């Protein structure tokens, strides 16, 4: 039934490129600037490479990550500075040098000798920060630690490089001072100004993707900072999407298993302290008291419940439907309050669901006689990482010739059969699993399928049969009833 799985963006394709030498002097980096924006669960890293070609006809530039940086990176995108269209990136894995991971970025045009280009590499790191200390009392500030490597590695010579680490507050109790790098340093190896720590400028850094450089100069650095927002981790997200042509409805239901991954609470939780802190507007920022989520425009029948039943302390600002394909991005906004404030180490499991008009998500391809449905991978909880996600898209009964296009590769994918009330043969369902999703992973999954006319008729027949049997039971019951009365 499954014809093909395709992946739209060409991120992280397996390597088929001819072999190359990392030591090649094809380029020189005139400057590298890396900016790290510290957060809780998500850390945004943007690195600008000012590149000059030293050999003619260059079309591929290599970007390299150390082992830990590669492990933490959940999303990666390269662009020419100031442009919108992402460049193709190919994951070459570890080549030549152990613990140095290589990505090939395809340049938009050939560079001649002395030709220059500015590339911007954006990544999002997850699970890159940790509470330090790991316990804190209710009124304590939330201190986090972030570790990274001092040098941005590159197979090419770099005339000057610097790394800026930006914290969310200027309260930075400590940060590392690098050692043994005097040969690159002009004035100071590290400086701090307000909420920003700057490593560098470091001058004339030779090609660094070799064991000798790594051994002599590369070193871990860390920043210890006060982060006044909850560190949110969705340990598990289960999204179930049900398409009903018959009811002209698309239902989305999400089960969130949310955790405040900040420092564990030391001592007891005092509701009185919490309320008075709240009252005086001095609430410890790392306690989660509410969430604001963007849901689709045009939704109806929203519901939110947890293990104890309905939660009524939520407020939905509904926006009417936006015509499909319209450029206007509009959301309904749900402000929800968990049943209890979420302190460090605490979990909260809840289910959020709603209906949307089918025509907002499904279109009809008349040429190929196929329906095409677009479903977002997830609803993002601001600032959170989703450790594990399962997305299940349940198609109408009898759907065939299923074709799936995912915005980025799934960890696993399958076609299952989902059986529910009033189904005769069960419905095909597309199931996808993902890990470490971030705010960059809210893109659309597209599923296209055919529904033969006979399958369209199955539902009314099944419902008709169900009504008929109810009617028969009713008749029998009435007879029994009559007889009882007579007796």
3-state SS class at 141? coil
* In the complex, minimum distance from the CB of residue 174 to ligand NAG, in angstroms, rounded to a whole number: 29
Separation between Cα atoms, residue 39 and residue 166, nearest integer Å: 9
219-248: which residues touch ligand NAG (CB under 6 A)?
235
* In the complex, minimum distance from the CB of residue 90 to ligand NAG, in angstroms, rounded to a whole number: 28
**Cα angle: 52, vertex 57, 62; to 5 degrees:** 55
Mark residues 174-213: x for contact with ligand NAG by CB under 6 A, - for none: ----------------------------------------
* In the complex, minimum distance from the CB of residue 216 to ligand NAG, in angstroms, rounded to a whole number: 29
**If binding means CB under 6 A, how many residues of this protein chain bind ligand NAG?**
10
Q: Which of 384, 374, 380 is nearest to 407 (CA)?
A: 374
How buried is 208 (Cβ within 10 angstroms: 0-12 exposed, 13-18 middle, 19+ buried)? buried
Residue 269 binding ligand NAG, by CB under 6 A: no
Separation between Cα atoms, residue 17 and residue 267, nearest integer Å: 57
Q: In the complex with ligand NAG, which residue's Cβ is closer, 51 or 172? A: 51
Q: In the complex with ligand NAG, which residue's Cβ is closer, 269 or 303? A: 303
Residue 346 binding ligand NAG, by CB under 6 A: yes
Asked if 145 and 221 count as a contact pair (C-beta separation under 8 A), the reply is no
Among 345, 357, 374, 409, binds ligand NAG (CB under 6 A): 345
* In the complex, minimum distance from the CB of residue 303 to ligand NAG, in angstroms, rounded to a whole number: 6
Q: In the complex with ligand NAG, which residue's Cβ is closer, 102 or 265? A: 265
446-475: which residues touch ligand NAG (CB under 6 A)?
none
Residue 347 binding ligand NAG, by CB under 6 A: yes
359 phi, psi to nearest 5 deg: -70, -15
Among 135, 269, 303, 364, binds ligand NAG (CB under 6 A): 303
Exposure b/e, 320-342, CB count within 10 A at least 16 = b: ebbeeeeeeeebbebebbbeebb
Among 18, 82, 309, 325, binds ligand NAG (CB under 6 A): 309
Mark residues 100-119: x for contact with ligand NAG by CB under 6 A, - for none: -------------xx-----
20 phi, psi to nearest 5 deg: -145, 170
DSSP assignment string, 459-476: HHHHHHHHHHHHHHHHHH
Q: In the complex with ligand NAG, which residue's Cβ is closer, 259 or 427? A: 259
* In the complex, minimum distance from the CB of residue 277 to ligand NAG, in angstroms, rounded to a whole number: 21
* In the complex, minimum distance from the CB of residue 58 to ligand NAG, in angstroms, rounded to a whole number: 13
* In the complex, minimum distance from the CB of residue 455 to ligand NAG, in angstroms, rounded to a whole number: 31
Q: Which of 261, 448, 239, 254 is nearest to 361 (CA)?
A: 448
- Segment near ligand NAG (CB under 6 A); pick from 28-36, 265-273, 345-353, 461-469: 345-353
Separation between Cα atoms, residue 215 and residue 208, nearest integer Å: 10
* In the complex, minimum distance from the CB of residue 235 to ligand NAG, in angstroms, rounded to a whole number: 6
- Segment near ligand NAG (CB under 6 A); pick from 2-10, 13-21, 269-277, 343-351: 343-351
Residue 267 binding ligand NAG, by CB under 6 A: no
Separation between Cα atoms, residue 374 and residue 361, nearest integer Å: 5
3-state SS class at 477? helix
DSSP assignment string, 277-322: HHHTT---TTSB--EEEEEETT-EEEEEEETTEE---EEEE-----
Separation between Cα atoms, residue 452 and residue 425, nearest integer Å: 14
User: Which residues contact ligand NAG by CB under 6 A?
Assistant: 113-114, 235, 259, 303, 309-310, 345-347
């Amino acid at each position: 039934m499954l014809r093909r799985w395709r992946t739209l963006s060409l991120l992280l394709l397996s390597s088929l490129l001819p072999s190359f030498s990392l030591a090649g002097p094809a380029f020189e980096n005139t400057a590298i600037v890396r900016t790290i924006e510290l957060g809780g669960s998500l850390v945004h890293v943007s690195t600008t490479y000012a590149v000059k070609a030293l050999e003619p006809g260059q079309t591929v530039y290599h970007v390299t990550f150390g082992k830990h940086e590669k492990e933490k990176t959940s999303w990666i995108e390269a662009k020419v500075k100031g442009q919108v269209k992402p460049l193709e990136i190919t994951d070459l894995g570890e080549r030549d040098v152990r613990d140095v991971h290589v990505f090939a970025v395809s340049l938009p045009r050939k560079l001649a000798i002395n030709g220059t280009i500015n590339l911007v590499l954006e990544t999002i790191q997850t699970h890159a920060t940790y509470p330090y200390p790991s316990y804190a009392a209710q009124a304590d500030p939330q201190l986090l630690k972030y570790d990274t490597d001092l040098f941005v590695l590159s197979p090419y010579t770099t005339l000057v490089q610097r790394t800026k680490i930006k914290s969310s507050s200027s309260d930075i109790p400590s940060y590392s001072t690098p050692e043994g790098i005097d040969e690159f340093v002009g004035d100071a190896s590290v400086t701090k100004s307000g909420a920003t720590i700057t490593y560098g400028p470091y001058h004339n850094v030779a090609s660094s993707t070799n064991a000798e450089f790594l051994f002599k100069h590369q070193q871990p650095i860390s920043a210890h900072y006060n982060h006044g927002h909850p560190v949110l981790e969705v340990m598990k997200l289960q999204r179930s999407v049900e398409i009903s042509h018959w009811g002209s409805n698309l239902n989305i239901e999400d089960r969130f298993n949310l955790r405040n991954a900040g420092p564990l609470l030391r001592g007891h939780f005092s509701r009185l302290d919490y309320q008075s802190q709240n009252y005086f507007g001095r609430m410890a920022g790392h306690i989660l008291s509410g969430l604001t989520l963007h849901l689709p425009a045009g939704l109806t029948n929203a519901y939110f419940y947890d293990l104890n039943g309905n939660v009524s302390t939520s407020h939905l600002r509904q926006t009417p439907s936006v015509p499909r394909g319209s450029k206007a991005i509009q959301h309904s906004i749900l402000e929800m309050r968990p049943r209890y404030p979420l302190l460090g180490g605490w979990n909260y499991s809840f289910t959020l669901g709603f209906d949307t008009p089918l025509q907002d998500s499904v279109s009809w391809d008349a040429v190929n006689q196929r329906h095409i449905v677009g479903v977002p991978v997830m609803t993002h909880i601001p600032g959170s990482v989703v450790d594990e996600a399962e997305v299940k898209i349940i198609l109408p009964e009898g759907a065939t010739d299923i074709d799936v296009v995912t915005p980025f590769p799934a960890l696993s994918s399958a076609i299952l059969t989902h059986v529910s009330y009033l189904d005769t043969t069960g419905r095909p369902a597309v199931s996808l699993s993902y890990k470490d999703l971030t705010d960059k992973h809210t893109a659309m999954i597209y599923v296209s399928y055919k529904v033969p006319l006979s399958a369209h008729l199955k539902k009314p027949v099944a419902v008709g049969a169900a009504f008929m049997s109810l009617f028969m039971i009713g008749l029998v019951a009435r007879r029994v009833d009559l007889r009882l009365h007579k007796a």
